[in-house]
Structure 1
Amino acid sequence: MDQVWAVLGASGFIGSALTASLGRAGITVRQVKAPRLSARSTDAAGLLAEAAALTDQAMDLAGALAGADVVINAAGLATPSGADSPELRGANALLPVLVADAADTAGVRRFVHLSSAAVQGHRPCLDESSSVEPFSAYSRSKALGEQALSARVPGHCSVITIRATSVQGPARDTTAKLVRIAASPLASVAGRGDSPSPVSSVDALTSFVLLAGAQPEPVPALVLQPWEGATAAGVLEAAGGRQPFRLPVWFCRGSLKAGYAVSALLGERLHGPLRRVEMMWFGQRQEPGWAEATGNVPTPHVEEVLREARRQRG
């Protein structure tokens, strides 16, 4: 029997790539429109109560998901520099809970929610623990979504949260900005630039989602997108076609410390851009997790994707 996977957020950057990958794999894709939600709560218990009150939306969503084998939530607001709002919390924190409840009601086998490694913020090493250190309104909303899903009473549907890392694709505005910076005199790294970078490809992420969603065996409730082997300098070389400047580590750390202090006085207005500079200079390590332990690591495509983005820019 043909597999049917429902995708919320199918028109977005990751959702459209997932839809294409599922089609190539011979899986029937059902595109489901995500309801627009607004959340007042800033804690998991409050979000669960709000979700329980959305009975009409939950029933409509369950009807749309009926007959699906797997549901993927790729919907949300990707606004790393945006301010906190009920709409941001509704899209990134309340929606995953509502979809999980609806998937349970519809008898879906597995629900895959796409979160972000940004929830772990400035931690020196990304991992699959529940420990989070969000640093912005966006990362706090994604962390809240993870916490609310974890606090749900488990149902029959297997719920998996995948923390996507810094996902790039030739058609993404974020990637175009990275290419422009990498080709400019601003391209620089701290020290030798050989520190691991979590910059990844949309190709590898979609492959990983398919692997996790199709697994016949149980999958942990929280998994991290595997590292694609990129380094801080390697990312800039692939994206810009030139070697970046090597800056003293002490200078980079001092500049970031001063920048974050100023940003805090401005209501975190500069946290997003500063975080991007921090990632460019220092990257971020990743602990091997479920993917590495079970042999479910997709083929790396990150340098290929960055070179293609550079070629398209001309």
Structure 2
Amino acid sequence: MGHTMADTSWKIIGASGFVGSSILARLTTEGLTVDAIEAPRLVTRETDPQQLISDARKLEGIINSLADSFAGCDVVINASGLAAPDQEDLAPLLGANALLPAVIAIAAQRTGVRRLIHMSSAAVLGPVPVLTDTPETNPFSAYSFSKALGEEVLLGLRSFIEEKAAQGTAPGSAASQFPAAPSHAPAQVARHHALEICILRATSVQGQGRRTTQAFAKIASSPLASVAGDGQHRTPVSSNYALAEFTAMVGAFDGELPPIVLQPWECATTESVLIDAGRRRPMRFPEKFCRALLSAGYKASHYVGDRLTGPVRRLEVMWFGQDVDDSWARTNGLIPTARVSEVLRTAHSSLGKKSDRRFAD
């Protein structure tokens, strides 16, 4: 990128949220120039990626407002998505997770921003054995559908921007039909300037104050805590600290970023996370028994309009975990400090339950 991290200007959209606040704290700790930008609230029922991009381009007032905030900025981090895994109402999800990312990317390109890191979720991949950085998605809920659509929109914009920049008609440049932003004080955008858009797929991120983390600690502390087989399956359960550190690493990476990167594995297993969050040993069930029970659960869910799919899927992940293909991060030495054990132990302590005597440490 040709900049040192210290002289890079960063902006975070959605810095008050769980992920955004963790990233803001990390960047601030590293002594970086970082500003928080409030995320505009958008709603839409549009599900066609091209139409979403077209609709985003018409939101000139919001593009101008964001562009004002982006002036002179190098890296924009979009952590503003709506994280509501059980929400059924699509309009706010699509607005926050698909339409807004398009508006942000358009504003960033037309203001000359160099890099956009979009915080997505590995949930877009669905119930696959291994989480990867493939553009192919398999959403299974309203939330994962909205996040997958957001990715598709950004990949489309990335291709379009790169194609136009290669032709010397980069959006926002004098040679383009798309004007520079903000309209009242247009930025100078070079003809070959291409915003580098990188989608960062977070895995199963846990942290203090997160409801899913408290719920996980409750289950881990109860007799329901169980694993399939010996409990040594890899799990994508991770910490907000490691995600924030990895995001900072990706933002500062001195090289070309791939379109999609995956948050690295924090060396946790299905058994280790339950022990950390519950301070008790989980029950071990035979793998065949677990598979049969899950199969029955998915069939039952199918008969009631997929209403049980979420809970059955959570059970599947507790028992079998999911592997994480973090080869890009490992190849480039971008491995954050693993802090998932600490986060889960803190979650257990906050429940105020007595620990099992064997786990008094």
- TM norm structure 2: 0.84
Q: Find the aligned partners of 1:271 and 1:8 in 2 and give their Cα distance.
A: 32
The match for 2:295 among 245, 257, 262 is 257
Q: Find the aligned partners of 2:12 and 2:307 in 1 and give their Cα distance.
A: 33
User: For residue 5 of structure 1, what is the aligned residue in structure 2?
Assistant: 10
Matches within 5 A, 1:152-301: 152=157, 153-154=160-161, 156-301=194-339
SS at 1:154 equivalent:
helix
Q: Find the aligned partners of 1:305 and 1:83 in 2 and give their Cα distance.
A: 29
| Distance apart, 1:111 and its partner CA | 0.5
Q: Structure 1 stretches of 5 or more lacking a match?
A: none
SS at 2:161 equivalent:
coil
SS at 1:235 equivalent:
helix
Q: Structure 2 stretches of 5 or more lacking a match?
A: 1-5, 163-193, 353-361
User: For residue 84 of structure 2, what is the aligned residue in structure 1?
Assistant: 79
| Distance apart, 1:262 and its partner CA | 2.6
SS at 1:93 equivalent:
helix
Identical aligned residues as a percent? 50
| Distance apart, 1:287 and its partner CA | 1.5
Matches within 5 A, 1:40-55: 40-55=45-60
The Cα RMSD (Å) is 1.4
Residue 68 of structure 1 pairs with residue 73 of structure 2:
yes
SS at 1:213 equivalent:
helix
| Distance apart, 1:65 and its partner CA | 1.4
Mark the structure with the bigger radius of gyration. 2
User: For residue 355 of structure 2, what is the aligned residue in structure 1?
Assistant: none
| Distance apart, 1:249 and its partner CA | 1.6
SS at 1:115 equivalent:
strand
Deviation by residue 1:198-247 (Cα, 9 ceiling, x = unmatched) = 00011110000000001121111100000011100111011101110011
Q: Find the aligned partners of 2:121 and 2:349 in 1 and give their Cα distance.
A: 28
Deviation by residue 1:170-215 (Cα, 9 ceiling, x = unmatched) = 2211111111100100000111111100000111100000000011
Q: Find the aligned partners of 1:21 and 1:157 in 2 and give their Cα distance.
A: 24
Query: Could you tell which deviates more after superposition, 196-205 or 148-157?
Result: 148-157
Contact map agreement 1:59 1:102 (CA 8 A) in 2 = yes
| Distance apart, 1:85 and its partner CA | 1.4
Contact map agreement 1:19 1:29 (CA 8 A) in 2 = yes
| Distance apart, 1:306 and its partner CA | 0.8
| Distance apart, 1:268 and its partner CA | 2.9
User: For residue 340 of structure 2, what is the aligned residue in structure 1?
Assistant: 302
Query: Could you tell which deviates more after superposition, 211-220 or 251-260?
Result: 251-260
SS at 1:267 equivalent:
coil
Q: Find the aligned partners of 1:129 and 1:200 in 2 and give their Cα distance.
A: 20
Q: Find the aligned partners of 1:28 and 1:265 in 2 and give their Cα distance.
A: 53
Deviation by residue 1:69-103 (Cα, 9 ceiling, x = unmatched) = 21111111111111141211111111111111111
The match for 1:124 among 121, 129, 135 is 129
Q: Find the aligned partners of 1:85 and 1:304 in 2 and give their Cα distance.
A: 35
Residue 107 of structure 1 pairs with residue 100 of structure 2:
no
SS at 1:31 equivalent:
strand
| Distance apart, 1:64 and its partner CA | 1.5
| Distance apart, 1:44 and its partner CA | 1.4
Q: Find the aligned partners of 2:265 and 2:132 in 1 and give their Cα distance.
A: 11
Change in Cα spacing, 1:305 to 1:207, as seen in structure 2 (3 Å) is: same
Q: Find the aligned partners of 1:173 and 1:86 in 2 and give their Cα distance.
A: 23
Contact map agreement 1:136 1:268 (CA 8 A) in 2 = no
- TM norm structure 1: 0.96
Contact map agreement 2:263 2:326 (CA 8 A) in 1 = no
SS at 1:268 equivalent:
coil
Q: Which amino acid aligns with 2:112?
A: G
Q: Find the aligned partners of 2:48 and 2:308 in 1 and give their Cα distance.
A: 25
SS at 2:337 equivalent:
coil
Q: Find the aligned partners of 1:74 and 1:271 in 2 and give their Cα distance.
A: 27
Q: Find the aligned partners of 1:58 and 1:127 in 2 and give their Cα distance.
A: 32
